[in-house]
Structure 1
């Protein structure tokens, strides 16, 4: 997913800091990641769970997108727990 403007929520920034996930890594997931879940009915904008492997590390990013302004919102980012995910972190157990 690409967005002209990318906005990080306060929650996302806090969690990225705690989880040692860099903005560069999140930017990479948003630009090149695979959409593994879609929530088109989420409000105020549709949201997506993205997955990418950055330097071999799996990263999930919850991303919301406002098509009218071409703005993406990073809601949170985390390293998926292998005990909760299967199929190479693409589906929940």
Structure 2
């Protein structure tokens, strides 16, 4: 999965939320505007090529100073970004280090 594809699909408005992603986004009060801003400039921080559903990755982007994580995959027909989960890692600081780029062990 490449980050350029993620940036492009978000810029084109070609993305879809899983029910779980939508619930988590709402629970963390992340607006779609904030999410789009973060995803248009995100970086891949973990790859999950062997995910049983399909290859996916964890990305980190920022809306202003707010960090946003998303686990996503690219659907192929039609090409679209599928958001598996979306959340604000600053609400779970015990799990993250290095500005939300690495999991604590």
Q: TM-score range by the shorter chain?
A: 0.7 to 0.9
* Stretches of structure 1 lacking an aligned partner (at least 5 in a row): none
Q: Which runs of 5+ in 2 are unaligned?
A: 1-5
Task: Specify which structure has the higher proportion of helix.
Answer: 2
After superposing on structure 2, the runs of 4+ consecutive aligned residues of structure 1 that deviate more than 6 Å are none
Alignment counterpart, residue 37 of structure 2, candidates 28, 51, 68:
28
How do 1:1-93 residues align onto structure 2 when only pairs under 5 Å count? 1=6, 2-3=8-9, 5-67=14-76, 69-80=78-89, 81-93=92-104
TM-score between both structures, scaled by the size of structure 2: 0.77
Kept in 1: contact 2:21–2:86 (CA 8 A)? yes
How large is the RMSD of aligned CA atoms in angstroms? Answer: 1.6
Number of aligned residue pairs: 93
